[in-house]
């Protein structure tokens, strides 16, 4: 039986998983990225983990390929990062070549948001669909449109769903433009909404925390506990997210939307305003079959998608 190795490299952790061609998750392992030590050191530790996991695996499984998910703008052909804010020092480092030299297994790379979509499509909430739009809500927003199992993109810099402009004269975004979706639904966007709304809801539990200690996770937790301010923020964020999703549905006709990431943990608080916004903004002929689902693979989506990337690349 063939197996594929998926590696999801983030700013703080690296998730490694082994998946068989029969969609069985055989092993998984998490190591720290320690970005200050640079890419060479991380690749060495990844390769050591992979060799140990292969040694512990059933001998009947042959690991044919490694897929790697990386953040930021990539040079897919050369197997390297062009630009990634949370992996300083990785720009121009030959990730694929270096891991291939240490493992003798073919290596393929792809953007992490695209791989999360591919993971959910292969083994998660999108397992029965051919096309889907996947959104990951973390400190920023990742988005990927999958059509017939393939990521749709005409240019590597395209597909920045978080920077879709939804308000003409909105707040300034980290990208320097104004009115982007991320000014509502991201770590930065949530903090902006807390500052804006806290004077009107002073009894909120959020008032007990210094502003710098307020994370999307805390707001999600308080929203689930019924905090009025946390729910107001979710309502506004959900409405804005709904407008952006409506634009994507009206443009492409995609009918399955999967939402993952930490902000999606307060699912009920997010789902209602998103659906309200879709019902208002999507064309009637398109809305009938639209489904919005919570991602089901969590942190595993990235490495499962990376394993699928390797499987697809080698089946060509
Ligand atoms: Zn922006």
Per-residue pLDDT averaged across 131-139, rounded?
A: 93
Indicate if the pLDDT at residue 301 is higher than 90: yes
177 C-alpha to center of ligand 1: Å?
A: 6
182 C-alpha to center of ligand 1: Å?
A: 6
171 C-alpha to center of ligand 1: Å?
A: 10
280 C-alpha to center of ligand 1: Å?
A: 24
pTM: 0.91
Q: What are the Cα distances from residue 103, in Å, to 47, 126, 259?
A: 6, 32, 34
CATH 3.30.420.40 domain residues, the chain: 2-120+299-315, 128-294
The pLDDT-based confidence of 245 (bands split at 50, 70, 90) is: very high
Per-residue pLDDT averaged across 257-265, rounded?
A: 93
What are the backbone dihedrals phi and psi of residue 65, each rounded to the nearest 5 degrees, phi first?
Answer: -155, 160
109 C-alpha to center of ligand 1: Å?
A: 25
175 C-alpha to center of ligand 1: Å?
A: 4
What are the backbone dihedrals phi and psi of residue 50, each rounded to the nearest 5 degrees, phi first?
Answer: -60, -45
Indicate if the pLDDT at residue 84 is higher than 90: no
Provide the pLDDT for residue 129: 95
Task: Give the residue, 86 or 79, on which the prediction is more confident.
Answer: 79
Residues 2-120+299-315: name the CATH superfamily. ATPase, nucleotide binding domain (3.30.420.40)
19 C-alpha to center of ligand 1: Å?
A: 35
217 C-alpha to center of ligand 1: Å?
A: 22
108 C-alpha to center of ligand 1: Å?
A: 29
Q: What are the Cα distances from residue 165, in Å, to 171, 173, 182, 222, 276?
A: 11, 10, 9, 28, 20
Provide the pLDDT for residue 95: 98
Provide the pLDDT for residue 224: 92
Indicate if the pLDDT at residue 13 is higher than 90: yes
Radius of gyration of the chain (CA): 20
42 C-alpha to center of ligand 1: Å?
A: 30
136 C-alpha to center of ligand 1: Å?
A: 16
The pLDDT mean for the chain works out to: 94
The pLDDT-based confidence of 181 (bands split at 50, 70, 90) is: very high
Indicate if the pLDDT at residue 58 is higher than 90: no
243 C-alpha to center of ligand 1: Å?
A: 16
97 C-alpha to center of ligand 1: Å?
A: 33
Indicate if the pLDDT at residue 128 is higher than 90: no
Indicate if the pLDDT at residue 232 is higher than 90: yes
Indicate if the pLDDT at residue 144 is higher than 90: yes
Residues in the chain: 316
Q: Which fold has domain 128-294?
A: Nucleotidyltransferase; domain 5 (3.30.420)
Provide the pLDDT for residue 158: 86
Indicate if the pLDDT at residue 156 is higher than 90: no
Indicate if the pLDDT at residue 72 is higher than 90: no
Indicate if the pLDDT at residue 262 is higher than 90: no
């Amino acid at each position: 039986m063939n197996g594929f190795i998926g590696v999801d490299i983030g700013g703080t952790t690296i998730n490694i998983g082994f998946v068989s061609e029969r969609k069985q998750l055989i092993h998984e392992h998490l190591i720290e990225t320690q970005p200050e030590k640079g890419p060479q050191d991380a690749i060495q530790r990844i390769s050591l983990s992979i060799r140990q996991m292969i040694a512990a695996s059933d001998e009947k499984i042959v690991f044919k390929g490694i897929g790697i998910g990386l953040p930021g703008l990539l040079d897919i052909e050369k197997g390297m990062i062009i630009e990634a804010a949370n992996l300083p020092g990785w720009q121009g480092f030959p990730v694929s070549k270096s891991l291939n030299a240490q493992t003798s297994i073919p290596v393929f790379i792809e953007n992490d948001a695209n791989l999360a979509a591919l993971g959910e499509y292969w083994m998660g909430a999108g397992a029965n669909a051919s096309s889907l739009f996947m959104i990951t809500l973390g400190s920023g927003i990742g988005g990927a449109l999958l059509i017939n199992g393939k990521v749709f993109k005409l240019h590597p810099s395209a597909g920045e769903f978080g920077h879709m402009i939804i308000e003409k004269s909105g707040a300034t975004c980290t990208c320097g433009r104004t009115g982007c979706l991320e000014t509502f639904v991201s770590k930065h966007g949530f903090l902006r909404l807390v500052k804006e709304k806290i004077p009107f809801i002073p009894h909120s539990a959020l008032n007990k925390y210094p502003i710098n200690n307020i994370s999307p996770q805390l707001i999600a937790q308080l929203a689930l506990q019924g905090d009025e301010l946390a729910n107001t923020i979710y309502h506004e964020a959900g409405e804005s997210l709904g407008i952006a999703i409506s634009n994507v549905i009206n443009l492409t006709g995609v009918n399955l939307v999967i939402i993952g990431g930490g902000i999606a943990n307060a699912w009920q608080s997010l789902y209602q305003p998103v659906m309200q916004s879709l019902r208002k903004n999507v064309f009637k002929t398109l809305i009938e079959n639209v489904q919005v689902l919570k991602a089901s693979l969590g942190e595993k989506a990235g490495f499962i998608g990376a394993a699928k990337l390797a499987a697809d690349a080698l089946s060509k």
